[in-house]
């Protein structure tokens, strides 16, 4: 029986571990029941929604109404794509995903003098994980996507191999930022993991800050030996998704790039928080110390935890350790967004800390958007690219060693995509971690196979144990920015007078607005009542161009009203002031 603190972190792991290891988090990179590099990022992302615009209103309204106890219910449908730049996912070919019976082929290459070729095997009858890297991509034989000319495209030569960024519509998100040119603030992002090779030629030049919770004399920002040791390289590979140096003519792009003068920039201030040694061993105590430093000393607003604790609820010792982890997360509630990997056990229960109610739990998909076989299910919040175990190039490409690159698969690789999107939202001005989390869930998309059209997840069906609220959508989140609100109002040509509380819809758009208070006098002689949806995307406090807006007339004189779908589009009308209740 494993100890309460045994944890599969980042790599391929299995539910049980050999022996009673004490208070250790174990990264079992070669184990069966793999975590396939389960990287847990804790982000509290808020879901943003879009609202359809309406510049004129139809209907006679409600007359003089003083409803009490009545409610308006419906589902908000937003048109985020109405003014997003186009991106092409053709004619590049998606990497084939082999069955579990087929062994992966090793991949080898060379860049900057680093050479490595490695295939992880889960043992007899076990799952396998392929990983590899090197080169400029010429020998991979694959180019997955072509970008439309309208996109803001950095010049990183291996971007074409980064199917993961295209699956989450990161290039369209970059183009959205290029159009908006928002003021971007700096966002400290903590990567709680193994040490990170700060000297990698393709990571952000800095400044980097680090903290070592293990106290064994190893610098959190030093380079681990052996570029092919995926346990030791785990932190560096997670870091590449969030903090690769983008548009520098080298290697890969990070999800956090912001186009602009001088080649663009990244709003990320990276924090390397070492809580695992080069074999992936650590403890709950190390993790809680790392979280405390990241938030209290490092000022982290996003915390990525690429690790997991596959606890057994029937074991009191397991639950005691889990409670310690939960207590530390509770202590920092509201100060940072935590994002965590769902786990790579392929089971029906999330690993911890992904199972904490205020942590964004991220599942993994393969290059087609289909749930990866290793990804745990349960209270998943959303999914992001984690890769398939074969072929090698169906993994997620990232930084490795001091100058190389490698492919790795797992929920560990999925989570940092969500952390990166959260950092971009915060940099664009969304301050509350809970709103960032809400926006990410609300804008997450339904998932279809890009070739066959098969529906893997339909968001209108509600939350899925496997897919949560859908696929991370960086473009949609950055276009919406803030969470839409739904409320009852009287509307004039130049103002919207709220007569109820403003509520957030659920991630699938379902809403209920109570009309249980006296609505007051008519606004400027207008007595019609509307249910209004509004996302103040430019954050100026007015309904204006750049926002999402929609309204429908309602009559509450007969009690509750179901309006069906309330559509919201980019607002095109004149500027309207908003008078809150």
- What gap in Å lies between CA 550 and CA 546, rounded to an integer? 13
Q: What are the residues facing 579 on neighbouring strands?
A: 497
Q: Output DSSP code: residue 504.
A: P
3-state SS assignment for residue 396: strand
Please, which residues have CB within 8 angstroms of residue 355's CB and are 6 or more apart in sequence?
349, 361, 378, 379
- What gap in Å lies between CA 28 and CA 51, rounded to an integer? 46
Active-site residue identified among 36, 166, 200, 234: 234
- What gap in Å lies between CA 375 and CA 364, rounded to an integer? 6
Is-catalytic flag, 234?
Answer: yes
Is-catalytic flag, 166?
Answer: no
Is-catalytic flag, 45?
Answer: no
First to last CA, the chain: 58
Cβ burial 534-543 (10 Å sphere, 16+ → b, else e)? bbbbbeeeeb
Work out whether the CA dihedral 501, 180, 41, 303 comes out positive or negative.
Answer: negative
CA 122 from centre of chain: 28
Contact 570, 81 (CB under 8 A): no
Active-site residue identified among 412, 464, 500, 544: 412
- What gap in Å lies between CA 154 and CA 156, rounded to an integer? 6
- What gap in Å lies between CA 72 and CA 4, rounded to an integer? 48
- What gap in Å lies between CA 82 and CA 550, rounded to an integer? 14
Contact 76, 382 (CB under 8 A): no
User: Quick count: other Cβ atoms within 10 Å of Cβ 73?
Assistant: 14
Q: What is the 3-state secondary structure (H, E, C) of 48-107?
A: CCCCCCCCCCCCCCCCCCCCCCEEEEEEEEECHHHHCCCCCCCCCCCCCCCCCCCCCCCC
| Residue numbers annotated as active site | 193, 234, 412
């Amino acid at each position: 029986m494993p100890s309460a603190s045994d944890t599969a972190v980042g790599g391929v792991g299995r539910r049980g571990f050999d022996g009673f290891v004490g208070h250790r988090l174990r990264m079992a990179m070669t184990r069966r029941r793999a975590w396939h590099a389960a990287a847990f990022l804790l982000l509290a992302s808020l879901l943003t929604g879009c609202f359809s615009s309406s510049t004129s209103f139809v209907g006679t309204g409600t007359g003089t109404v003083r409803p009490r106890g009545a409610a308006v219910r419906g589902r908000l449908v937003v048109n985020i794509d109405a003014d997003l730049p186009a991106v092409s996912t053709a004619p590049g070919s998606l990497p084939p995903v082999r069955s579990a019976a087929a062994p992966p082929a090793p991949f080898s290459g060379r860049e900057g003098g680093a050479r490595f070729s490695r295939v992880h095997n889960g043992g007899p009858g076990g799952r396998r994980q392929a990983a590899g890297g090197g080169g400029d991509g010429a020998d991979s034989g694959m180019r997955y996507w072509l970008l439309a000319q309208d996109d803001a495209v950095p010049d990183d030569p291996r971007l074409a191999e980064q199917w993961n960024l295209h699956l989450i519509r990161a290039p369209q998100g970059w183009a959205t930022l290029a159009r908006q040119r928002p003021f971007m603030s700096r966002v400290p992002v903590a990567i709680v993991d193994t040490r990170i090779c700060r000297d990698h030629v393709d990571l952000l030049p800095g400044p980097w800050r680090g903290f070592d919770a293990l106290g064994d004399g190893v610098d959190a920002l030093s380079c681990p030996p052996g570029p092919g040791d995926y346990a030791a390289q785990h932190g560096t590979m997670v870091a590449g998704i969030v903090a690769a140096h983008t548009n520098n003519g080298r290697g890969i792009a990070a999800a956090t790039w912001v186009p602009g003068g001088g080649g663009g920039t990244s709003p990320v201030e990276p924090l390397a928080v070492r809580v695992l040694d080069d074999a992936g061993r650590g403890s709950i105590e190390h993790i809680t110390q790392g979280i405390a430093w990241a938030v209290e000393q490092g000022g982290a607003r996003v915390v990525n935890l690429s690790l997991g604790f596959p606890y057994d609820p029937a074991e009191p010792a397991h639950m005691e350790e889990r409670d310690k982890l939960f207590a530390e997360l509770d202590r920092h509630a509201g100060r940072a967004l935590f994002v965590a990997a769902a786990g790579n056990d392929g089971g029906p229960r999330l690993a911890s800390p992904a199972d904490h109610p205020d942590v964004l739990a991220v599942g993994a998909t393969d290059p087609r958007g289909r749930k990866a076989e290793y990804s745990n299910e349960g209270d998943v919040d959303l999914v992001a690219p984690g890769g398939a175990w074969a072929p090698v190039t169906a993994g997620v490409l990232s930084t490795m060693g001091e100058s190389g690159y490698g492919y790795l698969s797992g929920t560990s690789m999925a989570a940092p995509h969500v952390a990166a999107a959260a950092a971009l939202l915060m940099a664009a001005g969304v301050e509350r971690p809970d709103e960032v989390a809400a926006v990410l869930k609300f804008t997450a998309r339904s998932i279809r196979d890009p070739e066959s059209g098969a529906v893997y997840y339909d968001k209108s069906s509600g939350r899925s144990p496997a897919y949560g609220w859908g696929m991370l959508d960086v473009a949609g989140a950055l276009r919406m920015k803030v969470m839409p609100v739904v409320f009852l109002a009287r509307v004039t040509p130049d103002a919207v007078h709220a007569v109820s509380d403003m509520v957030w819809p659920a991630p699938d758009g379902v809403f209920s607005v109570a009309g249980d208070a006296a609505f007051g006098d008519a606004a400027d002689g207008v007595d019609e009542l509307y249910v209004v949806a509004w996302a103040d995307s430019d954050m100026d406090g007015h309904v204006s161009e750049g926002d999402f807006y929609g309204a429908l007339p309602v009559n509450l004189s007969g009690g509750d009203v179901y309006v069906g779908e309330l559509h919201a589009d980019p607002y095109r009308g004149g500027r309207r002031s908003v008078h809150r209740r």
